[in-house]
Amino acid sequence: MARKYFGTDGIRGRVGTHPITAEFMLKLGWATGRVLGNGGGTRVIIGKDTRISGYMFESALEAGLSAAGVDISLLGPMPTPAIAYLTRTLHACAGIVISASHNGYADNGIKFFSSEGTKLPDAVEAAIEAELEQEMVTVDSSRLGKAERVKDAEGRYIEFCKSTVPSNTNLRGMKLVVDCANGATYQVAPSVFRELGAEVIAIGVSPDGLNINRDCGSTTPALLQKAVLEHAADAGIALDGDGDRVIMVDHAGDLVDGDELLFIIALDRQAKGTLPGGVVGTLMSNLGLEHALKAHNIAFDRAKVGDRYVLEMMQQTGRMIGGESSGHIICLDRTSTGDGIVSALQVLHGMRSSGKSLHELKSGMRKYPQRMINVPVQEKIDLAAAPLIQAAVTSAEQRLASRGRVLLRSSGTEPVVRVMVEGEDEQQVNREADQLASVVAAAV
């Protein structure tokens, strides 16, 4: 069923532009309470990142949920995966995240977790959208929901993160630079790595409501690369604004992206005999990851782009490890959703147990040159129904033959068409990508 509000990662857009308004969030809180609260007497938890509009939307959602007769637990600024975890452990009927993830402060959005800490099924999202069309009716005053703040949320999540590596894991002697993107992990991430013994240089830990993801974090890792070299660190960890993605940097200042992190985690699990099945990536995963895993007899499946589709395929195939090039990595044997801190810990544990540097661990995978261009669009288009675009794709695929591949897709979170070309020859890859992007730009 087509969605009016929900995209691949919840509801997201520009603050002040429908539906990212206080009025809509009030109604959304009420509709969510009606659908998930079963008429009242249950609890929903709400967490947010550090962007300034979070205050406004937190209050609006709280009011809507209360009007539906649902109690609310407020977590304040907390990473998205922490909200998934706490939804489970606090036995809430749902968790709500106020965040636009890696986007700038002028955007915001809403993500939901079920009582199991997983993304909501499509049918539940459809039910919430249907309820949004109804007139908002407040329950009797005696049944209004109450709100409370969870005072120990940070400590609970820190202990959980530490529990995802063996209890004897010790990072003493390891120097790490941790970039928290001025986002939701600014308090918890440095504490996790310090409590495991690492020397931590924390950057991107001064949020002001406006600087989330600005020139820092996993989407802009140049600051981290520079800091790793300046401090002669063993590794750098870059999280995004809501903490569900991670990109790392080795001691030489080279980036280690999500594909390479997946490779490292998968080989570490295989060496320990704890890798059932194989690995799930996406249509955007580098061809080098597929080939490197195959060389180690590790099966690899590609899901549609989006962490919810990666998770669906993992559940269908029984895989425990999956993720995206962007650094959204899911370790189902550790937690229920993508978690940047937990994923980084798996890599650090692999470094420590193998005695190898991050640079050495990633060297087993050769990445193919890949170019992605985001072409802005005013509204979502049907790429398959655009003959000029399809003709250009066919021509590019013929020229690349078996030495590469082409992927065009409309983003589920931004108003862009992503043009990706990958192949053995970097010059040809760049040439084909530029040509395709110009065709798409002209067509839209």
In SS3 terms, 40-55 reads as CCCEEEEEECCCCHHH
φ and ψ at residue 132, rounded to 5 degrees:
-60, -25
Residue 410 pLDDT: 86
φ and ψ at residue 315, rounded to 5 degrees:
-70, -35
Q: What domains lie within the chain, and their CATH numbers?
A: 11-151 (3.40.120.10), 174-254 (3.40.120.10), 257-362 (3.40.120.10), 370-443 (3.30.310.50)
Residue 7 pLDDT: 83
Task: Please return the burial class of 437, using the count of CB atoms within 10 Å of its CB with bins 0-12, 13-18 and 19+.
Answer: buried
288-304: average pLDDT: 94
Task: Please return the burial class of 384, using the count of CB atoms within 10 Å of its CB with bins 0-12, 13-18 and 19+.
Answer: exposed
Sign of CA dihedral 342, 269, 305, 403: positive
Task: Name 52's Cβ contacts closer than 8 Å, sequence gap at least 6.
Answer: 105, 209, 210
Residue 325 pLDDT: 93
204-211: average pLDDT: 98
Question: Which sequence positions are flagged as catalytic?
Answer: 101
Residue 41 pLDDT: 61
Q: Pairing relation of β-strands 370-376 and 107-114? A: unpaired
Measured at the CA of 332, the angle between CA 327 and CA 335, to 5 degrees, comes to: 85
Asked if the model's pLDDT at residue 40 lies above 70, the reply is: no
pLDDT band at 429 (very low <50, low <70, confident <90, very high): very high
Are 23 and 29 a contacting pair, CB within 8 Å? no
How far, in Å, CA of 397 to CA of 376, rounded? 23
Q: How many CB atoms lie within 10 A of CB 256?
A: 26
According to DSSP, the residues that pair with 407 across neighbouring strands are: 420
Q: DSSP 3-state assignment of 160?
A: helix
Segment 362-383, tens digit of pLDDT: 999 999 998 999 999 888 778 8
